[in-house]
Amino acid sequence: MKKIIKISCVFFLTSLLLISCGSSNSCDKFLNDYEEIVDEYIEMIRKIKDNPMDVTIQAEATEIMEKATKMGSEGADCDDPKFAGKLLKLQQKMATEAAGIMK
């Protein structure tokens, strides 16, 4: 199960590095949507820890990955450093929470 979590985390982080945003409004929307995905991912990890044999979690993981993939295909350019900082904070939140949950 830890391997699935690590793979998922790498998937999200890699997706984010490849995704960029267009206008300020689209960057804000992207970051809000991504924060929702991060929160869903963290909740999924909690569920895995609480009940690693729950087969419904697989469907949840697939749904989260599909959302992230869709976001990646809809991205445009965003050069503003303030968005990069927010994105980094979300990545750190995901990594920190995941590490804390899996202790």
DSSP per-residue string spanning 18-80: H----SHHHHHHHHHHHHHHHHHHHHHHHHHHH-TT-THHHHHHHHHHHHHHHHHHH------
The residue that leads in pLDDT, 24 or 52, is 52
Name the band, by pLDDT with cuts 50, 70 and 90, for residue 42.
very high
Mean pLDDT for the stretch of residues 65-87: 73
Q: Provide mean pLDDT across the span 59-85.
A: 76
pLDDT at 44 over 60: yes
Indicate the average pLDDT of the chain. Answer: 76
Q: What are phi and psi of 54, to 5 degrees?
A: -70, 110
Q: Are 73 and 96 in contact (CB under 8 A)?
A: no
